Structure 1
Amino acid sequence: MRVRRIRETRVNDLIPHRAFPEDVPISRDLNEVVSHKDILIFAVPSHAMRKVSREVNQVFKGPAPLILNISKGIESGTLLRMSEVIREEAHYPFRGIVTVSGPSHAEEVIKNQPTVLVAASKDENLSEEVQLLLMGDRLRVYRSNDIVGVELGGSLKNVIAIAAGISDGV
Structure 2
Amino acid sequence: MEAFLVSTGVVALGEMGDKTQLLAIVLAAKYRKPWPIVAGILLATVLNHALAGAVGAWVAHALGPELLRWVLGGSFLAMAVWMLVPDQVDDEVPGSDRHWGVFFTTVLAFFLAEMGDKTQIATVALAARYPEWWAVVAGTTLGMMLANVPAVFMGEAIARKLSMKLVHAIAAGIFAVVGGVTLVGGLPW
TM-score for both structures, normalised by structure 1? 0.24
Q: 1 or 2, which has the higher helix percentage?
A: 2
Which structure would you say has the larger RCO, counting Cα contacts within 8 Å and 6 or more residues apart? 2
TM-score for both structures, normalised by structure 2? 0.23
